[in-house]
Chains A and B, each alone.
Chain A
């Protein structure tokens, strides 16, 4: 037991890496995914097709395979990434595809009549997006997206397989020395749970608060 307490700072470092990886992935995937999502809904046919195909492929394979593909598969093609950034890139790709779906769902769930009402009072397309669609889309997007952030946190555990010292890796390393797997795994579970449960609770609060937008 004291060995675990002794190892605590090391675990916290791992936790920090986990949070860092998750935060970067969430931020990057939001920007990329939102842009692609808008392209999917309002773009010309080639763009819509490309985003659709890319998104379906990325979401159709396991995250682990995606990570391995990025980490092992890019160097032979000339692009060498260190484990941290390879994992971040793969996870970002995966999350971005999810964000595209959230965006599509958020915009798609807005009734057609809203665009028509905007047209009827004489707003031009960009103003319709800005004043009518976007405010409603954001409120529909936020709850599932925040809930989805938990997927980024859970996915970040896979970076340990590439040797990145996140919480998962730190736990395994400590176990390698203490030979007491159970308490450490339980501690790790508790930490991940704490982070993710707060996030999903927050998303539920937001969902209730924005319910008025769904009529």
Chain B
């Protein structure tokens, strides 16, 4: 093996990785928030919707889930500006893409969460005279949120990993930072070892944090 490990060049440019990590987290957070709004709205609509609306929503979900994220990223970044008179930078484009992406997955999460609300609780709401909207706001949504927490955590962690795709349109997140260092220093093995470790540790810490949050809000059945 004629390759000598030299991490110094990686440490010298560590700020690129750190900033990239922060940006990745921001991208994931922003996308899941917007995606949650999309997903929640569509999930609530789906439950009370007619066949046509359900078909549309299902269509949206199925298309997003069956098409590679990479293609979606290209589609939104290169394709959209040709029909819509919009000029945006790569980061905004990626947030839009990832939000639509996470929205589709979250529709499923919230829809099954709503389904999982125990019938008895809804009946109790009926029994004390709450209107359907009140039942939705005070009984079904709160309970659904607690039920969906584990799935939400998993989605967030997935999104965090998916932010690496942004590197192909030169968004300066963590993977892009790794490639930048690679192109500058040619220390391939070192930089990818470091970046892999960063992803693993960051992912694990997010997992622990989210588990704590889950435990705090756990649904006692």
**Hey, which bits of chain A sit against chain B, CB under 8 A?**
57, 60-65, 68-69, 72-73, 76-78, 150, 153-158, 160-161, 168, 171-172, 175, 180-182, 185-186, 188-189, 192-193, 195-197, 200
Closest B residue to A183 by beta carbon equals B79
Q: A61-B161, A64-B165, A182-B83 are in contact. Are A76 and B68 (CB under 8 A)?
A: no
Say if the beta carbon of B69 comes within 8 Å of chain A.
yes
Stretch at the interface among B110-118, B141-149, B194-202: B194-202
- Pick from A77, A160, A168, A180: contact of B189, CB below 8 A: A77
For residue B162, which residues in chain A have a CB less than 8 angstroms away from its CB? 62
Q: A61-B196, A181-B78, A192-B68 are in contact. Are A77 and B178 (CB under 8 A)?
A: no
Given contacts A57-B196, A193-B62, 16 further A-B pairs with CB under 8 A are A60-B204, A62-B199, A63-B161, A63-B164, A64-B164, A65-B199, A69-B196, A154-B67, A154-B68, A168-B70, A181-B75, A181-B79, A182-B82, A185-B74, A185-B78, A195-B66
The secondary structure that dominates the A interface is helix
For residue B79, which residues in chain A have a CB less than 8 angstroms away from its CB? 181-182, 185-186
Compute how far the CA of A155 lies from the CA of B83 in the bound complex, rounded to whole angstroms: 28
State the Cβ distance, A191 to closest chain B Cβ, in Å: 9
CB-based closest 9 A-B pairs? A196-B66, A62-B164, A157-B68, A182-B79, A76-B3, A154-B68, A62-B161, A185-B75, A181-B78
Contact indicator B66/A200 (Cβ below 8 Å)? yes
Contact indicator B70/A158 (Cβ below 8 Å)? yes
State the Cβ distance, A171 to closest chain B Cβ, in Å: 8
Compute how far the CA of A172 lies from the CA of B188 in the bound complex, rounded to whole angstroms: 27
Say if the beta carbon of B127 comes within 8 Å of chain A.
no
Say if the beta carbon of B203 comes within 8 Å of chain A.
yes
Say if the beta carbon of B86 comes within 8 Å of chain A.
no
Say if the beta carbon of B31 comes within 8 Å of chain A.
no
For residue A65, which residues in chain B have a CB less than 8 angstroms away from its CB? 164, 175, 178, 192, 195-196, 199
13 chain-A/chain-B pairs, Cβ below 8 angstroms: A63-B164, A64-B165, A65-B192, A65-B195, A72-B182, A154-B67, A158-B70, A171-B71, A181-B82, A186-B79, A195-B66, A196-B65, A196-B67
